[in-house]
Structure 1
Amino acid sequence: MELTSFTPPNSKEAEESVIGSIFLDPSILPDVIEEVRWEDFYYENNKIIFKVMEELFDKGEPVDTVSVIEKLRESNLLQKIGGEDTIIYLAQVVPTTANVMYYTQIVKEKALLRALINASSEIVDAVRNIGDAQEVLEYAEKRIFSIAEARATRTYDLLSNVMHDVFEQIEELKNRAQKGEGDLVTGVSTGFKALDRMTSGFHRSELIIIAARPSMGKTSFAANIATNMALQANVAVAIFSLEMSKEQLANRILCSEAKVDLHKVRTGQISDEEWEKLVQKAGELSKSRLIFDDEPDLTPRMLRAKARRMKREYGIEVIFIDYLQLMTSRSKGYESRQQEITEISRSLKLLARELNITVVALSQLSRAVEQREDKRPRLSDLRESGAIEQDADLVMFLYRDSYYKRKKDEPGKNTLNDEHEAELIVGKQRNGPVGTIKLTFNPKLATFYTSDRGYE
């Protein structure tokens, strides 16, 4: 077939059915957005209309025939897509939304085929321009892999599903090694009594920030709280990990709960007693409602769609994001990264209110903290990261003095030089007091304890 006569894979009927289904029932839009983007549509009219739907969704505005027509008119695109008659036609093209995800998969499949065709053309160009077989092979692998990654949309999973794979890995490593206060809590308890006393737990519709410099234990602390909520309060909790895989996170949580050295598990150097601890805790954890998502390129739009779906499927009450600065908006027009972070932060607060859940976002502080003598974080350190301080209902900082190896001990003054001592600094609480909570950190177990529980 001549290249000029070749029509790229597409399905006009499927594209129209997806858009028509959304007009029929706008509540299905989050599910559709999780699978396809406006770029996945082949026909220009459908691209424009679906993009308008995405924009309305992002702003939390209604998505229906009236709002779409008005948005198209404002953008001078209404006549380009054929006028109001096109919208009216699409709104009547399907009698039911029952098959919308089937139609969505068709659109997705056709878009994938077109992407592969484009990639193959680029690979042919690379053969002509590069010449070296190894370089072309590496380019081809990278190009195809990028398409495969973009296709994998459902990245969250129940811990019970992840735990099987984790245990296979642990068992394999083990075999190789052998061969050679609650009454005051009105929200969700964190499992840390001192923190619960100060905050009365984590509350719905709140945005909570846990901020620190790298290597202070943000991920461990957040995972400890999430696990406490899931096991002790029987709450459905979602963790969006942009930095670690589901398996890595599950491994860390398992070791923390079983009180087994994480490094020993990674190397397979575990005793039979430790193995039994892991087995027992894995069983308990698998009964929990911990949900993991390890999408590394998470955007506010994707987060909102996934969170709404998790709310519907699992009834999530709390979500954790590790960490905020790794998120991107994919939107253009930001004058600075600070402005983009401001918009992302605002979207997290809106999400907490919209779904009536707690959103806990981890935030990484800049090096400016380390340029002063007292390196304890302050609220002002967040101002370099947009409007996080203003959006947050609760801001907490993790600080471990031993990390900086301070040598200024004064008689009678605790400077926290013990490697297992840490501070949780509550720098802002919209509805409560601020202050500092003494913690104990066990890096081998990736576990924090409040001082009244002691060190184990």
Structure 2
Amino acid sequence: MDYKIGGLEPSQLIVIAARPSVGKTGFALNMMLNIARNGYKTSFFSLETTGTSVLKRMLSTITGIELTKIKEIRNLTPDDLTKLTNAMDQIMKLGIDISDKSNITPQDVRAQAMRHSDRQQVIFIDYLQLMDTDAKVDRRVAVEKISRDLKIIANETGAIIVLLSQLNRGVESRQDKRPMLSDMKESGGIEADASLAMLLYRDDYYNRDEDDSITGKSIVECNIAKNKDGETGIIEFEYYKKTQRFFT
């Protein structure tokens, strides 16, 4: 994927869009861990779930311990606990900031972007449609304003902003349910704002017979539908939902 997208560039607005529960949060967290390991300052605004939940997902990804086992705690072995301790140390050393404030605005993102001006920063937001805006306008207009504001913030601060987005239900009515840019919920303007747009699709999301219940493995198609600085096209990932891991 790094080769196809051409690497990260300052001031990019990157969009990751999918239907609910397809795996966009897990995909974003895998991406964030890889970016942080390469020396970038990273932060994650989680509007949908708690910071603790985000941390547990990251621990599952790093250690390979099933997420449900981490949540239950009591079934963890001494070896599991050692792995989790080491993973927590790794996250602390990477300096990843996690915020679960539920009413963040573009100005909160600007403040974060300006806080670490000495390092290239990558800011993840999960997800666009839950963000607040001061504008008292129609929700579609408000979401488009948020998208535009985030693009301006990326341009002015040099931060890379990775914005997760929901897809609307229109995709469900088509025979081929693979998403298109026009399916992004409440935000036609984001097509213009985004430097890079990735649309995620899982066949077993719609066809349960395709689900591998033993390994929890799914095939996720990542459609790079827009890319100003590199190639477009589809990349397939193996997604292990039980451990939140993605592999090409």
Counterpart mapping for 1:214-233 below 5 A? 214-231=20-37, 233=38
Residue 364 of structure 1 is aligned with which of 152, 156, 166? 166
Indicate the residue corresponding to 2:78 in structure 1.
272
Distance 1:417 1:344 in 2: 36
Indicate the residue corresponding to 2:9 in structure 1.
203
Q: For 1:390, give the aligned amino acid.
A: A
Indicate the residue corresponding to 2:44 in structure 1.
239
Alignment gaps of 5+ in structure 1: 1-194, 408-415, 451-456
Distance 1:275 1:390 in 2: 46
Indicate the residue corresponding to 1:320 in structure 2.
124
List per-residue Cα deviations over 1:335-385 (Å, max 9, x = no partner): x21111111000111111111111100000111111111110011212742
Q: Is the 8 A contact 1:298 1:328 kept in 2?
A: yes
Distance 2:237 2:46 in 1: 24
Indicate the residue corresponding to 2:247 in structure 1.
449
How many Å apart are 1:316 and its aligned residue? 5.0
Q: For 1:206, give the aligned amino acid.
A: Q
SS at match of 1:321: strand
Indicate the residue corresponding to 1:251 in structure 2.
56
Indicate the residue corresponding to 2:235 in structure 1.
437
Q: Is the 8 A contact 1:402 1:417 kept in 2?
A: yes
How many Å apart are 1:433 and its aligned residue? 1.7
Distance 2:93 2:110 in 1: 26
Residue 92 of structure 2 is aligned with which of 282, 286, 291? 286
SS at match of 1:320: strand
Q: Is the 8 A contact 1:339 1:386 kept in 2?
A: no
Gap change, CA 1:431 and 1:399, over 3 Å in 2: same
1:261 aligns with 2:66: yes
Counterpart mapping for 1:26-425 below 5 A? 195-231=1-37, 233-268=38-73, 269-308=75-114, 310-312=115-117, 315-332=119-136, 334=137, 336-382=138-184, 384-405=186-207, 419-425=217-223
Indicate the residue corresponding to 1:55 in structure 2.
none
Q: Is the 8 A contact 1:235 1:289 kept in 2?
A: no
Distance 2:186 2:140 in 1: 7
Tell me the C-alpha RMSD between the 2 structures: 1.7
Q: For 1:400, give the aligned amino acid.
A: R
Gap change, CA 1:280 and 1:383, over 3 Å in 2: closer
Alignment gaps of 5+ in structure 2: none
Looking at secondary structure, tell me which structure has more strand per residue: 2
Q: For 2:129, give the aligned amino acid.
A: Q
Q: Which has the larger radius of gyration?
A: 1
- Using structure 1 for the length normalisation, give the TM-score: 0.51
SS at match of 1:420: strand
- Residue identity over aligned pairs, in percent, reads 40
SS at match of 1:331: coil
Gap change, CA 1:364 and 1:326, over 3 Å in 2: same
List per-residue Cα deviations over 1:224-272 (Å, max 9, x = no partner): 11111112x0211011111122221111101110111110111121122
- Using structure 2 for the length normalisation, give the TM-score: 0.92
Q: Is the 8 A contact 1:379 1:389 kept in 2?
A: yes
Looking at secondary structure, tell me which structure has more helix per residue: 1
Q: Is the 8 A contact 2:10 2:120 kept in 1?
A: no
Number of equivalenced pairs: 243
In the TM superposition, structure 1's runs of 4+ consecutive aligned residues that sit over 4 Å from their partners are 416-419
Indicate the residue corresponding to 1:9 in structure 2.
none
List per-residue Cα deviations over 1:120-166 (Å, max 9, x = no partner): xxxxxxxxxxxxxxxxxxxxxxxxxxxxxxxxxxxxxxxxxxxxxxx
Distance 2:167 2:133 in 1: 20
How many Å apart are 1:307 and its aligned residue? 2.6
Gap change, CA 1:384 and 1:283, over 3 Å in 2: closer
Q: Is the 8 A contact 2:168 2:185 kept in 1?
A: no
